[in-house]
Structure 1
C-alpha cells in the first residue's frame, strides 16, 4: 500500500488557508457551567484566545483542547481540518494519535500488573521474556524500561520507518541488541515500549489492547483510547515548519526518524493494524484529559476504582531527586516510572508546575495533570514541526493556562 503523499512544509501555505474569522473552523463539545470549575468567563476566554493564537501561527492544520478543573470540563473545543486534503473539519470527537504520550498508558498496564501481584518493577525482563537477555541485557529490569535506562534508546542498525509495521522483526532486533546506555537516562522514543507491551502480553496471555480495554477503556466509557484501530475517523498528521537539516538529524537521533518519515508512517493505513505501545494510542482530547483526571483522583473515576491510590503513587514516584541530563533529548528531564514530571521553573508543562505529571507526544502534543491547580488537560495537534512561529504562542498558552488555574492555597 502506498504511503500518503507528502504534504508541503511551507508555513505560508498553511497560514494562507486560515480565514480572518475562525468561527467556521471551531467546534465545541460539552462544557460544564463555569461555577463548577471555579473559573471566571474572562479567565476561560484568555485561555481560548491564546489557543486561537497558537492555531493562527499556521503550524498545525488542526488542534483540540480539553481542560478539566475540579474534575469538570471547562474547555472542550477544536479548530481546523482533521484532514486538510478533504477539508474534513476537526471536532472534539475526532481521535488523534498521541505518539509518545501513549507511553503513560502502556506504563499503567505494567502498574496494573504490579497491583494485581503478577510482577514487580525490579523483576528482570528475562523473567517474562527470556529471549531478551542477549548481549548483556540479563540484568535489565522493568523499571529500567519505564525510566529510559534500559540502554536501547534506538535501534543499533539502520532500519526504515516502515519497520513499525513488522513488530516481530522489531522484537528480534531489540532482543539481539547490546545495551549502550544501561543505567543512564537516554530517552527511549519507541524501543522500550515494544518490550513493555510484550511483558504485559506474556503475563496476561492477551494482547495489549485487550488488557487496556478491560482495565481502562470499558470501565471509563471511552469510545477510542486504543492502540491503532480507529480507521478513517482519525485526524491526519502533517509535516509543517521550517525545514532545517539539523532538526531532522536531531530527531533521527532522538526518535529514530525524520519528521516526514514519522508523518508518512502515521498516516499509512497499516499503522492502524499494529500496536506501538510507545507511539500509536488514539484518543480524543476529552478522553486523554479524562484519563489524567482519573489519575489526579488517585485512580478513581465515576465511582469506579480504576487503579488503587498506591498504584498511582508508585507510577508517579520520581526516578531521581532532581532532573537529569538526558542523552537522547540533550536537556535535563525528570521521569517517574512511565511519566514526565514538571519542574519548579519552566518545565514541560509550563512555568511554575513542579508537581505536574504527564507526557509529550511528537512535537506539540501535551497530556498532563497538575495537582496544584486541580487541573487535567490535553492539547492535541496534527502539525509536526519543530522550528516555526508556534513556539512563542505555545509557551504563551502554557503560561496562560497555569496563570489562570492556579489555586489560591497552592
Structure 2
C-alpha cells in the first residue's frame, strides 16, 4: 500500500476537495490594488507569512474556494482568491474562482443588517430601547410586548429559532416567517438569556424597516450603503444574471456525529440539509438578512473599513460617528450562549473579540465582526487598524482545517502589531466629521 493511496483514502474520508499540484493555476492576486506593505506599516515578511498561512489552510482541502482581503491603515495589503467557483481539480467542468466571485457571508450578514437598524435610529425612525411591538404590534404575543430592538440585536429577544420540525420552505415565505416569529413563545420574556438568533432576527429587521420607511431591507441597503460605497455585489441574494457567478457551497470534513444536534439547535435547521439548499436558485434569490448577503472579500473588508473610519468612505459620511460607536459597544461580559453552547461576547450587532484570546486572535478585545457558516470571518480591529474578510465556500465543522484555521486567525493580529493605544488616545468620533 503506497503513501499516495493512503493519502487519497484519508482525503476521501474527510470529503476533501481534490487540488492541483500547482496552486498558482487557481490563484488570483489583485496586483492593481495591493500596495507595498511598507505603505501600510507592515513588512513584506509579515504579509508573506499571512499569505503562507492562507495557503496552508487551503491545502487542507476543506475549502473549494477561499478568498481573503486585508486592509491595514485603510490600504489593501492582501486581496487574493484561490480555488474553484465550481467543481475541483478532478472535474471536467470545473470553474476557477477569482476576486470578483461572490461568496455567501451566511451569518456574517447579520453585522450589515444590524447597521441598517442603527441607521434607522440615526435617522430618527426608531429608538433602540423602544419595544419591537411599538412598530410591529403582533410581536407582543405571548409576553413579548416589552422586548426591545436593542435586545433583538444582542440575541436576547427570546425567539432564537423558528420552532421544532420547521419546514425549510418557511425561509422563503417572509410573511409566514414573520407571523411564526411573532406568535412564538419566548424562551425568556425578560431578555436575560443570551441565545444566538440564527435566522429569526433578520426577518424582524426586514419587517421593522418596511413598517418605518416603506422600503424593503434590500432597498434600504442599496440606498444607504451598497450604492454610496460603489459595491458590485453586497446584496441579499443574487439577481438571476449573477447566480452563475457565485461560489458553490460544499459540505466537507467528517460526519458531525453528536455535534449535529447542537448545530440544529443553533441554526433551527438540519446542517446536512442546509448546505445543498444554499446552492438552489430559491436560496440564492431569496432575501435573508440574517444569512445570505453575497459579497466579495474586498467588499466585505470595505464595509468594515467604513466602520473603522467611523462611517466615512471616500469623503462621504455614510453614517454618523456616534452611530458606529453605539453599534460596537459591548452589551455585557462574555457568557454562555444558550444556542451556541459556548461563551460569547456581543455588542448590538457584532460578535466581539477577547483577551487574552478571542475569535479574532490573541489580545483582540477591541475587535468586532461576525462569523458565518462555517468558516467565514469578517472583522475590524481598531487597535491594529485592520479590516479583514476571510470568505470560503467549504462548510466543514470537523476536519483537517482545525489547526490551520486558528493559526491563520491568530497570526493575522500577530503580524499586524497594535498602532493605537486604545486607553490613551481620544476616541476618534469626537473629532470625526459630522
TM-score by length of 2: 0.90
Query: Deviation at 1:13?
Result: 5.0
| 1: CA distance, partners of 2:73 / 2:420 | 14
Query: Deviation at 1:258?
Result: 2.7
| 1: CA distance, partners of 2:405 / 2:168 | 28
Query: Does structure 1 retain, via aligned residues, the 8 Å contact 2:367–2:380?
Result: yes
| 1: CA distance, partners of 2:21 / 2:225 | 41
For 1:6, the equivalent position in structure 2 comes to none
| 2: CA distance, partners of 1:175 / 1:315 | 25
For 1:3, the equivalent position in structure 2 comes to none
Q: Does 1:228 align with 2:237?
A: yes
For 1:158, the equivalent position in structure 2 comes to 165
RMSD (CA atoms): 1.4
Q: Does 1:139 align with 2:142?
A: no
Q: Does 1:274 align with 2:283?
A: no
- Cα 1:10–1:179 shift into 2, 3 Å: farther
Which of 385, 400, 412 does residue 389 from structure 1 map onto? Answer: 400
| 2: CA distance, partners of 1:325 / 1:338 | 17
Query: Deviation at 1:245?
Result: 2.2
| CA offsets 1:333-353 (integer angstroms, 9 cap, x no match) | 110011011101221111111
- Structure 2: stretches of 5+ with no match in the other structure: 1-10, 422-434
| CA offsets 1:102-131 (integer angstroms, 9 cap, x no match) | 001111111001101110001111111111
For 2:251, the equivalent position in structure 1 comes to 239
| CA offsets 1:341-381 (integer angstroms, 9 cap, x no match) | 11012211111111000000011000000011100010001
Could you tell which deviates more after superposition, 268-277 or 52-61?
Answer: 268-277
For 1:20, the equivalent position in structure 2 comes to 21
Query: Does structure 1 retain, via aligned residues, the 8 Å contact 2:111–2:369?
Result: yes
| 2: CA distance, partners of 1:246 / 1:10 | 21
Could you tell which deviates more after superposition, 181-190 or 65-74?
Answer: 181-190
| 1: CA distance, partners of 2:138 / 2:418 | 50
Query: Does structure 2 retain, via aligned residues, the 8 Å contact 1:248–1:257?
Result: no
> After superposition, where does 1:9-408 map in structure 2 within 5 Å?
10=12, 12=14, 14-15=16-17, 17-29=18-30, 30-84=33-87, 86-182=93-189, 183=191, 184-229=193-238, 230-320=242-332, 322-407=333-418
| 2: CA distance, partners of 1:59 / 1:44 | 23
Query: Does structure 1 retain, via aligned residues, the 8 Å contact 2:382–2:420?
Result: no
| 2: CA distance, partners of 1:285 / 1:130 | 38
| CA offsets 1:21-78 (integer angstroms, 9 cap, x no match) | 2110101123123222112111111000000000011111110000000000000001
Aligned residues: 400
| CA offsets 1:156-188 (integer angstroms, 9 cap, x no match) | 232122321222221111111010134110111
TM-score by length of 1: 0.95
| CA offsets 1:252-300 (integer angstroms, 9 cap, x no match) | 0111123321112211101133211100101000000000001001111
- Structure 1: stretches of 5+ with no match in the other structure: 1-8
Query: Deviation at 1:134?
Result: 1.1
Return the index of the structure with the highest Cα Rg: 2
Query: Does structure 1 retain, via aligned residues, the 8 Å contact 2:383–2:419?
Result: no
| 2: CA distance, partners of 1:250 / 1:13 | 21
| 2: CA distance, partners of 1:307 / 1:73 | 22
Query: Deviation at 1:133?
Result: 1.3
| 1: CA distance, partners of 2:212 / 2:274 | 31
- The SS at the match of 2:121 is helix
| 1: CA distance, partners of 2:357 / 2:128 | 30
Query: Does structure 2 retain, via aligned residues, the 8 Å contact 1:353–1:370?
Result: yes
| 1: CA distance, partners of 2:271 / 2:62 | 13
Query: Does structure 1 retain, via aligned residues, the 8 Å contact 2:256–2:397?
Result: no
- The SS at the match of 2:258 is helix
- Cα 1:77–1:156 shift into 2, 3 Å: same
Query: Does structure 1 retain, via aligned residues, the 8 Å contact 2:310–2:320?
Result: yes
Could you tell which deviates more after superposition, 120-129 or 285-294?
Answer: 120-129
